[in-house]
Amino acid sequence: MTAVIADASVGLPARAVSPSELLELDLSTDLDAIVELERSIRIAQAEQLRLVRRARETAALLEGVHDGSTSTDREFATRSFIAELATALVVPEVRASGMLGDAVCLERLPETSAAFARGDLGLAHVQAVIEATSGASAALSARLEAEAIERAPRQTPPALRRALRRFRERFEPVPLEERRAAAERDRRVCVEPARDGMAWLSVFMRAERAYAIKDRLDALAADAADASSSPVDTRTRAQRCADIAANLLLAGALAEGEFAAVTQPGLVKPRVLVTVPVFTLMGLSEEPADLDGYGPIDADTARRLAADAPSFTRILTHPETGAFLSYGRTTYRVPADLAGYLAVRDGGCRFPGCGRRARESDIDHTVDWARGGETRHDNLAHLCRSHHRLKHHTRWRMEQETGGVVRWRGPSGREVLSPPPLSSSPIR
């Protein structure tokens, strides 16, 4: 069936519209409505926090709290208000306390508060800004706000949080080494109760150690799955990882039969990917390095990691320096030097909002090899298995632009850009 439409306002003749174009139009209309509802929700949440802030001030007056009140009086007034807010909303007090905390923090972030009230930022974006500006000077907070408001329309909250962390490092007056040393004094182990007889065990520690531990657990879990021959062992990779961590912490070794291939600790070595500016490595600069999956780490830590590294991967980024960024049609498989460059450029899956890391993703030819696509940096990008399949089995399409920017087009015709995660790309 074919529909006929005409645009009388510009005098265009009627033309036939295919069923797929009608469906695309319907999908686009629904998505527009969903986006507008999201904006309305954001505006309502901003107004809710504004009222929470005002209600807290009113509650303090009712409790007789004033400028001369003691800290104890203020504390109890706040606790009293949190309890009343929680009972009014029928939510746990911890959530009510979080709402009040967000509301209070927005008082020092006028631009973020205004963007939130307009619906330009979501609550999770706002919380990312609050976290990024914690302890920052007024001038630095203003810079971070401006950066967040510019980035938020195209970045998910986790991506925005990482970007703001990197941005803050460029202007932070206190060196990262000093702040890290101060933060490290707070290292600890925490247990947080969860539902259904479970709990979260957390260790606050150096980032490079945490990521190395996670990498080792992932490797042990993968090898355990390969070594297991039991048909009744149906655990997922995540479940194996949790079990192995518990056994190593409780007994100092893996459980009986857990993983026959590992009899001594250390056979599986952790691997962390650290991108270090060459002048930092040489000691001529204190520019932070970038820890894969985390973000900026201080120069001293980067140099120490580099000194202990069993090998280096040189990332070549320009033809004049000997970079091999294109192999044309001579090979389908991506060579190691080009794969290393792509891992640093992409950081992870290039589908907007996906947080899967590069090592857990496929390297995909943007223009399919079967359709003449070449093995070169501007025709390759990391896609996790899920989004790799999405590209090949649905109407989602992607193309690459200058600087490693990926343009995605959804089934509705909407387009969204996915720039490389680092602030600048080696290829322009």
Report the distance separating Cα 211 and Cα 203, nearest Å: 12
Domain assignment of residue 346, yes or no: yes
Domain assignment of residue 7, yes or no: no
Domain assignment of residue 389, yes or no: yes
Domain assignment of residue 246, yes or no: no
Q: Which of 112, 145, 175 is the last residue of a domain?
A: 175
Quote the pTM value: 0.69
Q: How many domains does the chain have?
A: 2
Domain assignment of residue 265, yes or no: no
Q: Which of 143, 175, 207 is the last residue of a domain?
A: 175
pLDDT at residue 205, rounded to an integer: 93
Domain assignment of residue 291, yes or no: no
pLDDT at residue 407, rounded to an integer: 94
What 3-state class would DSSP assign to 374?
Answer: coil
Domain assignment of residue 188, yes or no: no
Below-70 pLDDT ranges, the chain: 1-14, 226-232, 253-272, 310-328, 422-428
Query: Could you tell me where the DSSP H helices lie in 65-122?
Result: 71-89, 93-105, 110-118
Q: Residue 355 belongs to what domain range? A: 319-418
What amino acid is encoded at 115 in this protein?
A
Q: What is the pLDDT of residues 187-199, one digit of tens each?
A: 999 998 888 888 8
Report the distance separating Cα 342 and Cα 357, nearest Å: 12
Is residue 109 a contact partner of residue 133, using CB atoms and an 8 Å limit? yes
Q: What is the pLDDT of residues 266-302, one digit of tens each?
A: 545 566 677 777 778 778 888 888 887 777 888 888 8
pLDDT at residue 322, rounded to an integer: 39
Domain assignment of residue 12, yes or no: no
Q: Which of 121, 148, 175 is the last residue of a domain?
A: 175
